[in-house]
Chains A and B, each alone.
Chain A
Amino acid sequence: NAGVTQTPKFQVLKTGQSMTLQCAQDMNHEYMSWYRQDPGMGLRLIHYSVGAGITDQGEVPNGYNVSRSTTEDFPLRLLSAAPSQTSVYFCASSYWDPAYNEQFFGPGTRLTVL
Chain B
Amino acid sequence: EDKVVQSPLSLVVHEGDTVTLNCSYEVTNFRSLLWYKQEKKAPTFLFMLTSSGIEKKSGRLSSILDKKELFSILNITATQTGDSAVYLCAVDAHNNDMRFGAGTRLTVKP
User: Is the C-beta of B68 less than 8 angstroms from some C-beta in chain A?
Assistant: no
- Collect the chain B residues with CB atoms within 8 Å of residue A42's CB: 4, 6, 88, 100-103
Per-residue 0/1 for B1-25: is the Cβ within 8 Å of any A Cβ (1 yes, 0 no)?
A: 0001010010000000000000000
Considering the complex, which residues of chain A in the window 72-114 have a beta carbon less than 8 Å from any beta carbon of chain B? Answer: 90, 94, 96, 98-99, 101-108
- Selected from B4, B32, B99, the residue in CB contact (under 8 A) with A101 is B32
Chain A residues with a Cβ closer than 8 Å to the other chain, count: 27
Residue pair A102, B98 in contact (C-beta under 8 Å): no
B interface residues with partner A (beta carbon < 8 Å) = 4, 6, 9, 31-32, 34, 41-45, 48, 50, 88, 90, 92, 95-103
Residue pair B42, A105 in contact (C-beta under 8 Å): yes
A interface residues with partner B (beta carbon < 8 Å) = 31, 33, 35, 40-45, 48, 50, 56, 58-59, 90, 94, 96, 98-99, 101-108
Residue pair B92, A48 in contact (C-beta under 8 Å): no
Residue pair B48, A101 in contact (C-beta under 8 Å): yes
A90 to B6, CA, bound (A): 21
- Selected from A41, A101, A105, the residue in CB contact (under 8 A) with B43 is A105
A105 to B45, CA, bound (A): 9
